[in-house]
Structure 1
Amino acid sequence: MAFTGRYEVESEDNYDAFVKCIGIPSDIIEKGRNFKIVTEVAQNGNDFVWTQIYPTGQSMTNKFTIGKEADMETMGGKKFKATVKMEGGKVVVDFPNYHHTAEIAGGKLVEISTAGGITYKRVSKKLA
């Protein structure tokens, strides 16, 4: 499947401005600034298991099916319900205070989050 794989952050744009905008505390922003987050995606048709693994050993997993409401968690730890959509090959979801898309482009995982007019872009390379 298109998204299945293990990816490591290669570059980020607007990290500080975005996480401040969505209310992440400054001590957490500082810790996360240079994290090489690993994202593992398992896709089986419309079913996804999307895990982010932090260098601290902590991880966050969201399991969802395209078009069905699912229990989700934000990067700040808030729990919420959302319906994830697939639009033009992109996974699209509205978190409580930001809009998020993810796609595979040029073999890389490209994630874009937008809140309050600030766009955060994270590009992750596929690991062998």
Structure 2
Amino acid sequence: MDFEAYQQWNPFIRKIDGVAKPGNRISAQMHLDNRRMMLHPDVLAVKPEKELRWSGHLYVPGIFDGEHCFIIEPLNENQVLFIQHEKFNGLLVPFFTSILAVTRNGFEEMNRALKERSEKEK
């Protein structure tokens, strides 16, 4: 959750402002292809070095809502498993399939960059 370092390695979420604390709203700058998008999700859960979970919506709840979580599970002394999970619901979800695909690609790109960064720091 070292948000200040994101711009150094993260090609998808370039910047996060705010304090990761349940109940707080943070700002996340995401890059979808050549577009920049600002999200303002509410933090749902924080477990340092284990989990960050947030939720957000487009305009009003029920139209296009999303919940995202980042989870780190230890595998052994020198390895962890990084898991991202996202769930979307709402009336407009069926109409946003192309944006959801681009978003998925962005998170996959982020995963690859995080893997490279963590392997360099060994």
> TM-score, with normalisation over the residues of structure 2?
0.44
Larger Rg computed on CA atoms: 2
> TM-score, with normalisation over the residues of structure 1?
0.43
Q: Higher relative contact order by CA 8 Å / sep ≥ 6: 1 or 2?
A: 1
More helix by share: 2
